[in-house]
Amino acid sequence: MLIAKAFLLFVLTAVAEIVGCYLPYLWLKKGASTWLLVPAALSLALFAWLLSLHPAAAGRVYAAYGGVYIAVALLWLWKIDGVRLTSWDLAGAAVSLVGMGIIVVGGWRT
């Protein structure tokens, strides 16, 4: 149950980080309104807060989070940006999630 809860928290954290970075991207690259910077800043603050909710040491949390971030970023690429994922994308996400699982299962027991 702890692993499932941590994974869900990582997914929420990744979405908050991606939104916080995607909105300024829209402003800088696509000419969107500067008002997008307000929800972007709030989303990045939410991202930092969500990372603080994990019970493990910060470095371990950041390391494990990286695997989930990669998978969520690829889902974003597919669903939001409309880019078809390659088998290399899927293999990379799988490897990163296995690494995340090793960190969580092995490291959070101590």
Q: Which of 30-44, 50-64, 71-85 is least confident?
A: 50-64
pTM: 0.84
Number of domains in the chain: 1
Binning pLDDT at 50, 70 and 90, where does residue 106 land? Answer: confident
pLDDT at residue 103 tops 90: no
Distance from CA of residue 73 to its chain's centroid? 7
Helix ranges (DSSP H) in 31-86: 37-51, 58-79
Burial environment of residue 47 by CB neighbours within 10 A (0 to 12, 13 to 18, 19 or more): buried
Between 69 and 55, the more confident residue is 69
pLDDT score recorded for residue 65: 85
User: Cα(17)–Cα(23) distance, rounded to whole angstroms?
Assistant: 10
Residues 38-59 pLDDT 10s: 999 999 999 999 988 877 777 7
pLDDT band of residue 18 (cuts 50, 70, 90) is very high
Task: Tell me the residue range of the domain where 32 lies.
Answer: 2-107
What local confidence, expressed as pLDDT, does residue 109 receive?
A: 60
